[in-house]
C-alpha cells in the first residue's frame, strides 16, 4: 500500500513537472544510460526549502501547471528536478532519483527477475512525447525511478 501511495504521488508530480511548459516538449536531454536524468526533493515547507536551495546551489524555481504543491528546479536554463510537498512526515524513502534507461520494458522485466517490484500503473508514458517512467522497489523495498526518453509503444489491442 505504501509503495502505491509513493508511486501515485511521485507520478503526479513528475507528470505535472515534465508537462509544465510548452517550450519544453519532447524528451529530457540525453544524459546516457545509467545516469541520473531527473530527481525529486520532498519537503514539509515549500517556501523555506525553496530559499534554502536557491541560496545553497543558485537554483531557480518555476511554477508547475496544475499544482501549488511542487516547483520545477532549474539549474542554468535546464529543468533538473522538482521540489514537492510531502504527504505527511518526511521518511527516508521520500525523494526520488530517475535513472535514464534505453529499454524501459526490458529494465522493468529485469528488475522483477532480480526480486524487485514494479507498482501497479507503471510503466507509463509522460505527456508531450517526453518519454516514459517506471518506479521499481528493490528487494529491500527502496524505490528508485527509471526514465526512458522513448515513449512506450501502444498496447496491443
Q: Give the model confidence (pLDDT) of 60-119 as tens digits.
A: 999 998 999 999 999 988 899 999 998 888 776 678 899 999 999 999 999 999 999 999
Any idea what the CATH number is for the domain that residue 144 is in? Answer: 3.10.180.10
Any domain includes 111:
yes
Any domain includes 157:
no
Pairing of strands 78-85, 124-125: unpaired
Between the alpha carbon of residue 12 and those of residues 24, 63, 104, the distances in Å are: 18, 15, 19
Long-range interactions of 23-27: CB distance < 8 A, separation 24+: 24/79, 24/128, 25/128, 25/129, 25/130, 26/128, 26/129, 26/130, 27/129, 27/130, 27/131, 27/149, 27/150
Any domain includes 156:
no
Any domain includes 130:
yes
The predicted pLDDT at position 21 comes to 39
Any domain includes 22:
yes
Tally of domains within the chain: 1
The predicted pLDDT at position 25 comes to 67
pLDDT at 3 over 90: no
The predicted pLDDT at position 93 comes to 63
CB 42 within 8 A of CB 49: no
Any domain includes 153:
no
CB 42 within 8 A of CB 94: yes
The predicted pLDDT at position 92 comes to 63
pLDDT tens digit sequence for 10-61: 444 444 444 443 355 677 788 888 888 899 999 989 999 999 999 988 999 9
* Mean pLDDT, residues 124-143: 89
Q: What is the pTM of this model?
A: 0.71
Which segment of 87-96, 104-113, 135-144, 147-156 scores lowest on mean pLDDT? 87-96
Cβ contacts of residue 63 below 8 Å, gap of 6+?
A: 20, 71, 72
Any domain includes 86:
yes
The predicted pLDDT at position 19 comes to 44
Range of the domain at 21: 2-148
Any domain includes 100:
yes
Amino acid at each position: 500500500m505504501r509503495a502505491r501511495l509513493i508511486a501515485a504521488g511521485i507520478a503526479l508530480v513528475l507528470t505535472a513537472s515534465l508537462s509544465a511548459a510548452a517550450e519544453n516538449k519532447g524528451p529530457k536531454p540525453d544524459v546516457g544510460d545509467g545516469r541520473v536524468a531527473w530527481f525529486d526533493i520532498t519537503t514539509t515547507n515549500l517556501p523555506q526549502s525553496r530559499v534554502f536551495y536557491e541560496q545553497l546551489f543558485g537554483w531557480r524555481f518555476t511554477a508547475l501547471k496544475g499544482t501549488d504543491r511542487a516547483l520545477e528546479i532549474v539549474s542554468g536554463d535546464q529543468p533538473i528536478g522538482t521540489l514537492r510537498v510531502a504527504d505527511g512526515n518526511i521518511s527516508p524513502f521520500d525523494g526520488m532519483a530517475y535513472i535514464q534507461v534505453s529499454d524501459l520494458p526490458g529494465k522493468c522485466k529485469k528488475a522483477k527477475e532480480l526480486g524487485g517490484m514494479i507498482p501497479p500503473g507503471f510503466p507509463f508514458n509522460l505527456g508531450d512525447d517526453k518519454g516514459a517512467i517506471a518506479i521499481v522497489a528493490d528487494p529491500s523495498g527502496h524505490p528508485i525511478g527509471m526514465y526512458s526518453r522513448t515513449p512506450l509503444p501502444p498496447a496491443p489491442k
